[in-house]
Chains A and B, each alone.
Chain A
Amino acid sequence: MPDLRLSRRRVLALSAVATLLPRSGLGQTSKVARIGLVQSTTGGSAALYGTEQKQAIELAFNEITKARTLGDIALQAFHADDGADRGQTVNIFQRLIRQDKVVAILGPTLSNSAFAADPLAQQAGIPVIASSNTAPNLTKIGDFIFRTSVPEDQVFPTVLAYGVRKHGVKRVALIYGIDDALTRSAHDVQKKAVDALGLESVGIETYQRGDVDFSAQLTKIKAQKPDAIILGALAEEGAAILRQARQLNLDPKTVFIGCNANISAKLFELAGPAADGILVGASWFAGYDTPRSKAFVEAYRKRYGTTPDIYAAQGYDAAYLIAEAIRRAGTATDSRAIRDKLAGITDFEGVLGRFGWSPERDATVTPKVLIGDGQAKVFAAAPAV
């Protein structure tokens, strides 16, 4: 926070100088691009994701200010905590748009809040880049809504195809939580990918929120002898399924393929060695071996003392994207011009890799296939086929 305050004060001081001496030519950074930063820093587990993104975005703004990539335009972040609450997010969007007159918004943290608040930005013609919303159809809200967070349906087919190539998967069983929106939509994506690859589905099992005993479902699946078991489950449930499958002595060659929600330290904590070999897909992981990604991890660690997570990486790229759009537009106030330049970016070199936008304004990031290491308790890049 002290860094932020300092840069804010500097920006204010410089703009004051610029107003006092309007035509002196001394005001190097005379224009301020005001950017709303809506991330939960309170409100349960959403605060974990929100804080990571806020920190990464502030890091990016700091770097951009230092490097003076935007010429005479300075970035000013207006952070507001949405508290993981829909109503609060709507209020914040209103205030940012009407009162603070921001030209762009980064956030909000949860898809739920985004569905309520993004239409306000769309109406006002303010571009929004989300970096942790993964719900389907989010960007259909309108042409001002972008995201760097990659939804399940862009990731899972790649992971499944990897399983087919690497392990010769032909027959699959699926298990998912039937009363949770997240696991249900993960299952829909998984089912579609299974059908698209022409794999045989030998069983679809379900469970309900709060279930801890999966042995009946797994015994049933075991009898079908599938090559792979696909999980539409949260980390806690996924871990229990992995462990109980091992207890029931499922064929150790059976490949487990998880969903986005399984990418969590909790999975290893609860499943232990049973998490060995589980395949998942993600847009990024901390061990991603590119110069840009490594530099980000190092800078983040230096500033905050922790390793950034995937939301931090997506937030960091969102910050650089909006900066790049402002640079190309050459304006600090014309949000429509900034939106058009943002949409025109096709070869952005980010932490997540090289990407642009799909026609629906989702980031076209190449998914990375990761494999669980139960001993080291991390996901690492899966070996090449």
Chain B
Amino acid sequence: MILQQLINGLSLGAVYAVFAVGFTLVFGVLNVLNLSQGAVFMWGAYVGLEMVRTLQLPLPAAMTVAVMAAGLLGVVTEWLVFRPLQRRGAHRWMGMVASLAFARILIGAAQEVFGTQVIRYPDATLVDATLVVGEARIQGLQVVALGVALAMVLALGLLLKFTNFGRAIRTVAFSETVARLVGAPVARVRGATFFLSGTLAGGAGVLWSLLFQSVSPFMGDTILLKGLTVLILGGLGNVAGALVGGLLLGLVEVGSVVAVGSGFRDAVGFGLVLLILLTRPTGLFATREAKRA
């Protein structure tokens, strides 16, 4: 039973991690909270579903399309919401509120297009295989979710660490003024960051809807809160912290159902955040400002 719960927690946490990494990336680079991330997550799930349902694409292809579409939606968010605000020198709180407004528009659009009822992926597209380890049953999907999650985050890590573009992103994250001084393409970096963040949100959306067989216009609301939790757990703007924080939150949630009782799940999760904020205000995996992102 412990092994089964560990698997339950890790596969849930993997999706949290992918979502939160995209969230934290934008925060690291632009120092703003993009609250439309949950709506991008939801649209990623719907695009993937439509690719499978309407265009009959195989799952990996559908997922790629969904991830790309969500990335573009991320770019649109930057272009429609954050760029105009920044140009006018608006306070970053305004970006946060404006992105929340944009999220409501995206949710309203999804309601109009897809209806408000919960729908799911058709049966045939499921990775139905199960692995039996002792008393635990691991679904093929859970392994896929965990694998894809780790791969996406690893790819991002490599990109940030070893490519010129990654270095440019990190320079902008450090200071936009410095980045301009050394000739980094700031506008392109901002667009690219939103693209990456969108792909991660969309990827998380597809994984989530496959794992739990549930797609609805409101699915982004819950994960947005979880994403914020992970953001604080891992340290604002810290990519590795978001990965570990996501997995940790998944395990903590499952652990609190096992140990304390399911009624206290969110109390334990958010209690943990409060505890961390009180004891380590920069998050569990705090880095110095200079090394952020």
Residues 220-242 of A contacting B (Cβ, < 8 Å): 220, 222-223, 236, 240
Count, A-B residue pairs, CB within 8 A = 71
- Asked if B123 and A272 sit within 8 Å, CB to CB, the answer is yes
Contacts of B139 in A (CB 8 A): 247
Distance in angstroms from A208 CB to nearest chain B CB is 7
Cβ of A69 < 8 Å from any Cβ of B? no
Contacts of B213 in A (CB 8 A): 212, 240, 243, 270
Closest A residue, CB atoms, query B1: A223
Expressed in whole angstroms, the Cα–Cα distance for A224 and B262 within the complex equals 15
Closest A residue, CB atoms, query B137: A249
Distance in angstroms from A175 CB to nearest chain B CB is 8
- Asked if A217 and B266 sit within 8 Å, CB to CB, the answer is no
- Asked if B137 and A266 sit within 8 Å, CB to CB, the answer is no
- Asked if A236 and B263 sit within 8 Å, CB to CB, the answer is no
Cβ of B120 < 8 Å from any Cβ of A? yes
Distance in angstroms from A375 CB to nearest chain B CB is 13
Contacts known (A210-B221, A247-B130, A266-B118); A216 close to B214, Cβ less than 8 A: no
Distance in angstroms from B147 CB to nearest chain A CB is 18
- Asked if B212 and A240 sit within 8 Å, CB to CB, the answer is yes
Cβ of B5 < 8 Å from any Cβ of A? yes
Contacts of B130 in A (CB 8 A): 247, 249
Point out which of A178, A219, A222, A272 has the most chain B C-beta atoms below 10 A from its C-beta: A219
Contacts of A220 in B (CB 8 A): 1, 5, 257-258, 262
- Asked if A219 and B4 sit within 8 Å, CB to CB, the answer is yes
- Asked if A248 and B262 sit within 8 Å, CB to CB, the answer is no
Cβ of A28 < 8 Å from any Cβ of B? no
- Asked if A210 and B222 sit within 8 Å, CB to CB, the answer is yes
Contacts of B263 in A (CB 8 A): 178, 206
Distance in angstroms from A291 CB to nearest chain B CB is 36
Contacts of B211 in A (CB 8 A): 213
Contacts known (A216-B253, A216-B254, A216-B257); A236 close to B214, Cβ less than 8 A: yes
Contacts of B218 in A (CB 8 A): 210
Q: How many residues of A contact B (CB 8 A)?
A: 26
Cβ of B8 < 8 Å from any Cβ of A? yes
Point out which of B139, B208, B221, B262 has the most chain A C-beta atoms below 10 A from its C-beta: B262
Cβ of A215 < 8 Å from any Cβ of B? yes
Select A205's contact among B8, B253, B262, beta carbons within 8 Å.
B262
- Asked if A206 and B222 sit within 8 Å, CB to CB, the answer is no
Expressed in whole angstroms, the Cα–Cα distance for A247 and B212 within the complex equals 11
Contacts known (A240-B212, A249-B137); A206 close to B123, Cβ less than 8 A: no
Cβ of A207 < 8 Å from any Cβ of B? yes
- Asked if A206 and B262 sit within 8 Å, CB to CB, the answer is yes
- Asked if A216 and B117 sit within 8 Å, CB to CB, the answer is no
Distance in angstroms from A63 CB to nearest chain B CB is 34
Contacts of A208 in B (CB 8 A): 265-266
Cβ of B12 < 8 Å from any Cβ of A? yes
- Asked if A248 and B258 sit within 8 Å, CB to CB, the answer is no
- Asked if A216 and B137 sit within 8 Å, CB to CB, the answer is no
Contacts known (A216-B9, A216-B262, A220-B258); A266 close to B212, Cβ less than 8 A: no
- Asked if B266 and A219 sit within 8 Å, CB to CB, the answer is no
Closest A residue, CB atoms, query B225: A210
- Asked if B262 and A207 sit within 8 Å, CB to CB, the answer is yes
Contacts known (A210-B218, A236-B214, A240-B212); A270 close to B137, Cβ less than 8 A: no
Distance in angstroms from B41 CB to nearest chain A CB is 13
Expressed in whole angstroms, the Cα–Cα distance for A212 and B119 within the complex equals 12
Give 21 CB contacts A-B under 8 Å. A178-B263, A207-B262, A208-B265, A210-B218, A210-B221, A211-B222, A213-B212, A215-B254, A216-B262, A219-B1, A219-B4, A219-B5, A220-B258, A247-B130, A247-B139, A248-B4, A248-B137, A249-B137, A266-B117, A270-B214, A272-B123
10 tightest Cβ-Cβ pairs between the two chains A and B: A212-B212, A216-B257, A216-B254, A212-B214, A236-B118, A215-B8, A206-B262, A210-B222, A205-B262, A206-B263
